[in-house]
Amino acid sequence: MKSQRDTISKILKNYVLCEYCAGRLISKSIGKYPSKFLGKKYIKKFGKSSNQKCYICKNIFDSLDYMLCNIQEKSSNYDFKTFHLGISLKPSFLERDDYLKSKFKIKGIENIKFAVAKELAKKISRRTNSKRITENPDLFIEANFKDESSTLLAKPLFVYGRYNKKVRKLPQKRVMCRSCNGIGCHNCNFKGVENITSIEEKISNFLIEKFDGKQVKINWIGGEDQSSLVLGNGRPFFAKILNPKKCNKMLPKSSNLSNVRLSELQKISLFPKGSIQFKSQVSVTIDTEKSISLNQLKKLKFLENTEIKDSTHDKKSISKRIYKVGYKKLGKTSFILDLLADGGIPIKSLIQNSDMVPSVSELLENQCECIKFDFKNIVI
């Protein structure tokens, strides 16, 4: 007991410490919880009066209210009930803390970084009526005491939905800027993409405006040619909204975005991992080099329950299957082909490319050209 008192006395008589650091350093020795009040009690008993700043933290605890105001001002724009706090300190703080702990053989106490984070988190919790947690918080706060700044980042918001595409010549994805290859330049206004309207742009703008997000990343369930329509129940997609400030806002089940209709919109808890298997119901308009008869079109039934392979791929490539086939003759050299097939089959190649085995041109022994193809339904 006497040796513990001697250690405490030596620390407080030889080093100027604030009440927080004093309470933290001596807490283990006397079996008490570290606190400002514990430090105050022992400084009064063993310490010396001084106008100098704390040897370890340079009175950083006195600046917590300034950092709190900085964080509160920024966090007022966010919807959150839980947060996680990270802090950055100058390395010299940790070095001085470690030096004293080593010199006086103090073990098993929280370090200065943990102590600062704990006190600041208490203040944030009280001021914002929120709770500090470590796993999956609504808001991540980084307090940088090196330059007295703070950075806030909301956890991503995930949305599932479907889209119908009502017009042709509308690409699904944004087109990378040809001048800078996506880096950003004067030609693209430093956005990295061409100034071309796309479904991705429409959905992204809708979700960013709705939830006050920074960026949207979309996981598409298949794709289509820019000249194809997407009809029926629409093509499914999953969207990840980065840093959404207003994550509690209601999401309508559907929305019209000028030639693109969104449906089945809903917030989901997790973003799907890996590829999602799906089937597509496709209607293809085809022209043939030579005249075609209904009798010849019957050969297309061979495609039903047939595996489609790309001969240019290696053995590791996954084969796809066609499940249903229908056809309708339009003219001497044209017909419509209706397919229910696994997603991922390149439709144009299936019709006119000899690399696809079997291909429509090969089956009919008549060179075919895909004029257009539309998606009637997507099933997942």
Listed in sequence order, the residues at least 6 apart from 100 whose beta carbon sits closer than 8 Å to its beta carbon are 11, 15, 25, 55, 56, 106
CA distances from 167 to 161, 171, 256, 283, 314 (A): 19, 10, 13, 16, 37
Catalytic annotation, pick one of 225, 310, 342, 374: 225
Distance CA 224, CA 259 (A): 16
Residue 101, both tokens: 């702990």
Return the bridge partners of 212, or none: none
**Alpha-carbon torsion (132, 245, 202, 253), positive or negative:** positive
Q: Tell me whether residue 225 is one of the annotated catalytic residues.
A: yes
Helix (H, G, I), strand (E, B) or coil at 294: helix
β-pair partners for 85? 141
Candidates 281, 294, 304, 367; CA nearest to 330 is: 294
Task: Return the sign of the alpha-carbon dihedral for residues 240, 246, 248, 254.
Answer: negative
**Dist. CA 84–CA 142, nearest whole Å:** 9
Contacts within 8 Å (CB) and 24+ apart, 3-7: 4/29, 4/30, 7/104
149 near 66, Cβ under 8 Å?
no
Distances (CA, A) of 324 to 142, 235, 262, 281, 295: 56, 20, 28, 9, 18
Dist. CA 161–CA 210, nearest whole Å = 15
Catalytic residues: 225
